[in-house]
């Protein structure tokens, strides 16, 4: 990446003013390219061409930076969801279609930022923009005729799917479930001794290379299958 600059009227390059949004944009791009672990205040400052202490005027340390990234991703989801819902037919009154469109739009954002699910799950508090994403799904259900009692159960059932990812039940690897072929074979052989059915399922369900995933138990086809199963069940309960 390159520090943004514009040309002043005198022909000299004028540095783009530092802002919270500019810092978060650079941090998200760095995480996309190299993973979240690569994002440090020192590296961000170097990338932006400023002193590290300058960042603290816009974000209160690493914790503030991480919370800001969650807010930024939530904003991307909100924009993507609004576009997806807007693309539905004006006469489409089925709340399931609205909720499904919002959730799949959220997933498209998460697939662009595969570091985001782990970050969201790790934060000690939930930033307000994340609550607004659930508010929109809740509103779609209530306006569609669901009771608050059922909608409450739906929020528990849908869980992190509203944010575009499914939390892992377990993973063959501690970090993300991605194993090298030789290591995966060794892991499965060790599992087979005590978990024969689980091992057989893992061997059978390894993701195809072209299946978008956010973890071992979170492929696109599995995500949509679970989402549709939940929405159809909630519709029958309503």
Let me know: does 43 contact 99? Beta carbons within 8 Å. Answer: no
Look at residue 198 in the predicted model and tell me its pLDDT: 75
DSSP state of 58: T
Look at residue 32 in the predicted model and tell me its pLDDT: 96
More confident residue, 172 or 226: 226
Torsion of CA 141, 145, 147, 152, to 10 degrees: -10
Q: Phi and psi of 15, rounded to 5°?
A: -70, 135
CATH architecture group of domain 1-59: Orthogonal Bundle (1.10)
Look at residue 5 in the predicted model and tell me its pLDDT: 44
If you search the block for the tokens 């991703």, which residue do you land on? 73
Q: What is the mean pLDDT of the chain?
A: 84
Look at residue 4 in the predicted model and tell me its pLDDT: 46
pLDDT digits (tens, 9 = 90+) for 3-52: 444 444 555 455 678 899 999 999 999 999 999 999 999 999 899 888 88
pTM, two decimal places: 0.80
* Domain boundaries along the sequence of the chain: 1-59, 70-166
SS3 category, 6: strand
Give the percent of the chain with pLDDT over 70.
81
Nearest to 237 by CA among 113, 149, 175, 178: 149
Nearest to 157 by CA among 106, 74, 76, 228: 228
Residue 65 clears pLDDT 90, i.e. is over it = yes
Average pLDDT, integer, range 49-56: 85
Let me know: does 189 contact 143? Beta carbons within 8 Å. Answer: no
pLDDT digits (tens, 9 = 90+) for 97-116: 999 999 999 999 999 999 99
pLDDT digits (tens, 9 = 90+) for 190-211: 778 777 887 777 777 666 656 7
């Amino acid at each position: 990446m390159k520090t943004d600059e514009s040309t002043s009227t005198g022909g000299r390059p004028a540095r783009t003013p530092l802002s919270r949004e500019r810092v978060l944009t650079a941090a998200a791009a760095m995480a996309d390219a190299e993973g979240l672990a690569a994002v440090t205040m020192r590296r961000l400052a170097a990338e932006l061409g400023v002193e590290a202490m300058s960042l603290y005027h816009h974000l209160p340390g690493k914790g503030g930076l991480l919370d800001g990234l969650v807010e930024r991703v939530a904003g991307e989801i909100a924009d993507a969801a609004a576009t997806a819902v807007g693309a539905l037919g004006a006469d489409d009154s089925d709340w399931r279609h609205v909720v499904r469109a919002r959730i799949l739009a959220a997933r498209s954002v998460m697939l662009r930022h595969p570091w985001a699910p782990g970050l969201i799950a790790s934060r000690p508090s939930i930033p307000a923009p994340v609550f607004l994403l659930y508010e929109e799904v809740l509103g779609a259900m209530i306006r569609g005729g669901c009771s608050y009692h059922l909608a409450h159960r739906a929020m528990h059932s849908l869980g992190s799917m509203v944010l575009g990812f499914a939390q892992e039940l377990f993973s063959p690897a501690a970090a993300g479930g991605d194993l090298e072929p030789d290591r995966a074979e060794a892991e499965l052989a060790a599992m087979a001794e005590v978990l024969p059915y689980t091992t057989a399922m893992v061997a059978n369900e390894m993701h195809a290379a072209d299946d978008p995933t956010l973890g071992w138990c979170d492929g696109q086809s599995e995500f949509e299958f679970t989402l549709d199963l939940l929405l159809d069940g909630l519709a029958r309960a309503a």
